A and B are shown apart, each in its own frame.
Chain A
């Protein structure tokens, strides 16, 4: 529908923001339930986001597996910091989604007898994963959605959620979203009875080769009053930089095939830190071990691919046509040379933090649902094993689509005032008309990324450091308010910088609020675990602009695995590793 000059106004039952795995599965399910569906993406659905770029490992429970054993491993490794009902929902529903892939003909790595080739997922002993081709899966999802008549709007950058009362934070709920066409600059209002955010991970631009995932959805929801949980657990990383300059293709895939890490002395150092799972340990433990090796003068660290099985080389050849850097002559032959590798450490959510959702994927805000890596994955708690993030995307997307379609039948579109829409349009497009400023969008992203420059520094936090980090995010937000966007492409990057700064600000505030250390979160000024922090840690924006923290206990009714909590006053795993007291971990 054509609105006033320069504005399109559309209506839909269900609006989905972000078309990765989570958004696509939501669209599919909502369309199956006969809702009108609009799926928007700042890029082209099926060629965007972490889903397309992912390594293609997903948790693979089959009908013959005893899910109790799998659920227990998720719950225990996640420090019991989860909702065990979600754990079972994840595993049961993932079985069905794998059958969809098989039915659609998505290529899955198989054994000689034709059965699915399964392997222990990184981080796990009992839980199995499989290898499939994510790019083919994404293309197939787009086909399935289109076939069901859902509307896809590509290259639409969403700038803000629409609130029913025109207030941020809202007291009533969410009524859709607004944004602009990246090519034409046309401002678009999408009124929706139910809105699903599935905008992907909270991450900085320029560190993970998934530069579209800047936490846009988390930032927008936060501004509208959405409750983010466990944001200090956003800190994470993976080994993805080869020879200081190339992108290493999927650490998870490499270690599933037997890749090792060795230090400059040729020692397989993970034997010291996790003799059972070695390089397949929790990523945070492996990154901490890397930091320890460097601090103690045993660096650099090399990835040793001399022992991988043959299927590794065929699996990575299929990830893209160029076949990965390892198969080119840009690097010494990896079949005979260990190659220097290093990790990143910083904002890298993958389900350990984000918008909290219930079993039906509803957030705390009426009308707003969330799915995928913008949401907290309450099935696995603080631990993301290889394959569980994409399993969670499918299942949370599926439930979000189902809830949204069902609830939209009983609701109406609220009336939004013309003034509010004009104000949102002005906010979205104003940077195009400003005079040039000292800081460009690129400068702001550079300032933010500098916060995660040092892996060693970034793993070991304290109040001073966090306060300085917070100051930078505030300075970026301030500078961004005056920055000019030279064109629409630059305008996208400017909004993204604001969203990264908003999310990282919440992360650093939550980290300051948490006066203990556990799992991958380590503060040297509070190095010990404190049992009063065994809870969800919420952060919400109040009307006066302050961040309000809360703590909520985990469900205790009818849970299968009673929490076995670490000793009060114990040193967290990162602290233990960097202080050289990991003997305790080895024997735990």
Chain B
């Protein structure tokens, strides 16, 4: 079921300039500007769809994504049929 994406998306606040481009980029409103720190905050990690738009648009390369389908409501046919997915050598 939908899983929290905590840890799958990270912002490096050392290099982040607070330009806000990642906030604009996120289609599903995961990232919000934190008024107190003037830096982006990962407000709704569960909804991250790992689309890379924020990572692509960040001018300082401060965002990293772990690639796992974090919010996945997808189900694997291989689990349903109990199939091992390793390529037979």
Q: Is A492 an interface residue (CB 8 A)?
A: yes
Q: Known: A52-B27, A492-B29. Contact between A246 and B67, CB under 8 A?
A: yes
Question: Which chain A residues numbered 104 to 122 have a C-beta less than 8 Å away from chain B?
Answer: none
What is the CB-to-nearest-CB distance from A394 to chain B, in angstroms, rounded to a whole number? 20
Q: Which residues of the other chain, B, contact A322 by a CB distance below 8 angstroms?
A: 52, 55-56, 65
Q: Known: A206-B2, A300-B83, A322-B52. Contact between A344 and B43, CB under 8 A?
A: no
Q: Are B57 and A47 in contact (CB under 8 A)?
A: yes
Q: Which residues of the other chain, B, contact A340 by a CB distance below 8 angstroms?
A: 78, 85, 87
Q: Is A78 an interface residue (CB 8 A)?
A: no
Q: Known: A302-B87, A454-B77, A455-B77. Contact between A246 and B69, CB under 8 A?
A: yes
Question: Which chain B residues numbered 33 to 78 have a C-beta less than 8 Å away from chain A?
Answer: 43-44, 46-47, 49-53, 55-57, 65, 67-69, 71-78
Q: Which residues of the other chain, A, contact B46 by a CB distance below 8 angstroms?
A: 442
Question: In the complex the two chains form, what is the Cα distance from A47 to B47 in whole Å?
Answer: 16
Q: Which residues of the other chain, B, contact A210 by a CB distance below 8 angstroms?
A: 27, 49
Q: Are A489 and B44 in contact (CB under 8 A)?
A: yes
Q: Which of B71, B78, B85 has the most CB of A within 10 A?
A: B85
Question: In the complex the two chains form, what is the Cα distance from A342 to B79 in whole Å?
Answer: 11
Q: Is B28 an interface residue (CB 8 A)?
A: yes
Question: In the complex the two chains form, what is the Cα distance from A266 to B89 in whole Å?
Answer: 11
Q: Is A388 an interface residue (CB 8 A)?
A: no
* Contact residue among B65, B67, B79, B81 (Cβ-Cβ distance under 8 Å from A244): B79
How many of chain A's residues touch chain B, expressed as a range? 35 or more
Q: Is A321 an interface residue (CB 8 A)?
A: yes
Question: In the complex the two chains form, what is the Cα distance from A540 to B83 in whole Å?
Answer: 43
Q: Are A445 and B2 in contact (CB under 8 A)?
A: yes
Q: Is A205 an interface residue (CB 8 A)?
A: yes
Q: Is A212 an interface residue (CB 8 A)?
A: yes
Q: Are B56 and A321 in contact (CB under 8 A)?
A: yes
Q: Which residues of the other chain, A, contact B88 by a CB distance below 8 angstroms?
A: 264, 266
Nearest A residue (CB) for B24 = A44
Q: Which residues of the other chain, B, contact A43 by a CB distance below 8 angstroms?
A: 26-29
Q: Is B80 an interface residue (CB 8 A)?
A: yes
Q: Are A294 and B73 in contact (CB under 8 A)?
A: no
Q: Is B16 an interface residue (CB 8 A)?
A: no
Q: Is A153 an interface residue (CB 8 A)?
A: no
Q: Known: A212-B28, A446-B1, A455-B77. Contact between A321 and B52, CB under 8 A?
A: yes
Interface of chain B, main secondary structure: loop
What is the CB-to-nearest-CB distance from B28 to chain A, in angstroms, rounded to a whole number? 5
Question: In the complex the two chains form, what is the Cα distance from A211 to B47 in whole Å?
Answer: 9
Q: Is B9 an interface residue (CB 8 A)?
A: no
Question: Which chain A residues numbered 435 to 483 have a C-beta less than 8 Å away from chain B?
Answer: 442, 445-446, 449-450, 453-456
Q: Are A454 and B80 in contact (CB under 8 A)?
A: yes
Q: Is A365 an interface residue (CB 8 A)?
A: no
Q: Is B10 an interface residue (CB 8 A)?
A: no
Q: Known: A244-B79, A244-B85, A321-B52. Contact between A206 and B73, CB under 8 A?
A: yes
Q: Known: A300-B85, A321-B52, A322-B55. Contact between A342 and B77, CB under 8 A?
A: yes
Q: Are B52 and A446 in contact (CB under 8 A)?
A: no
Question: In the complex the two chains form, what is the Cα distance from A330 to B80 in whole Å?
Answer: 24
Q: Which residues of the other chain, A, contact B67 by a CB distance below 8 angstroms?
A: 246-247, 325, 328, 330
What is the CB-to-nearest-CB distance from A200 to chain B, in angstroms, rounded to a whole number? 11
Q: Which residues of the other chain, B, contact A245 by a CB distance below 8 angstroms?
A: 68-69, 72
Question: In the complex the two chains form, what is the Cα distance from A321 to B57 in whole Å?
Answer: 9
Question: In the complex the two chains form, what is the Cα distance from A337 to B87 in whole Å?
Answer: 8
Q: Is A362 an interface residue (CB 8 A)?
A: no
Q: Is A432 an interface residue (CB 8 A)?
A: no
* Contact residue among A48, A445, A456 (Cβ-Cβ distance under 8 Å from B27): A48
Nearest A residue (CB) for B58 = A321
* Contact residue among B49, B71, B72, B81 (Cβ-Cβ distance under 8 Å from A294): B81
Digitize A92-110: 1 where CB-to-B-CB distance is under 8 Å, 0 elsewhere: 0000000000000000000
Question: In the complex the two chains form, what is the Cα distance from A53 to B26 in whole Å?
Answer: 12
Q: Is A49 an interface residue (CB 8 A)?
A: yes
Question: In the complex the two chains form, what is the Cα distance from A489 to B75 in whole Å?
Answer: 25
* Contact residue among B51, B81, B85, B87 (Cβ-Cβ distance under 8 Å from A209): B51
Question: In the complex the two chains form, what is the Cα distance from A182 to B1 in whole Å?
Answer: 25
Q: Which residues of the other chain, A, contact B85 by a CB distance below 8 angstroms?
A: 243-244, 300, 340
Q: Which residues of the other chain, A, contact B69 by a CB distance below 8 angstroms?
A: 209, 241, 245-247
Question: Which chain A residues numbered 249 to 293 have a C-beta less than 8 Å away from chain B?
Answer: 264, 266
Question: In the complex the two chains form, what is the Cα distance from A376 to B61 in whole Å?
Answer: 40
Q: Is A406 an interface residue (CB 8 A)?
A: no
Q: Known: A43-B29, A49-B27, A212-B27. Contact between A205 and B73, CB under 8 A?
A: yes
Q: Which of A207, A244, A299, A330 has the most CB of B within 10 A?
A: A244
Nearest A residue (CB) for B54 = A47
Given A342-B76, A446-B2, 14 more pairs with CB closer than 8 A: A43-B26, A49-B27, A52-B53, A206-B2, A206-B72, A206-B73, A241-B76, A247-B67, A299-B81, A321-B56, A340-B85, A445-B73, A446-B1, A456-B81
Could you pull out 7 A-B pairs where Cβ atoms are within 8 angstroms? A212-B28, A244-B78, A299-B77, A322-B52, A342-B78, A446-B1, A493-B47
* B interface list, Cβ under 8 A from A: 1-2, 24-29, 43-44, 46-47, 49-53, 55-57, 65, 67-69, 71-81, 83-85, 87-88
* A interface list, Cβ under 8 A from B: 43-44, 47-49, 52-53, 135, 154-155, 182, 204-207, 209-212, 241, 243-247, 264, 266, 294, 299-300, 302, 320-322, 325, 328, 330, 332, 337-340, 342, 344, 442, 445-446, 449-450, 453-456, 489, 492-493
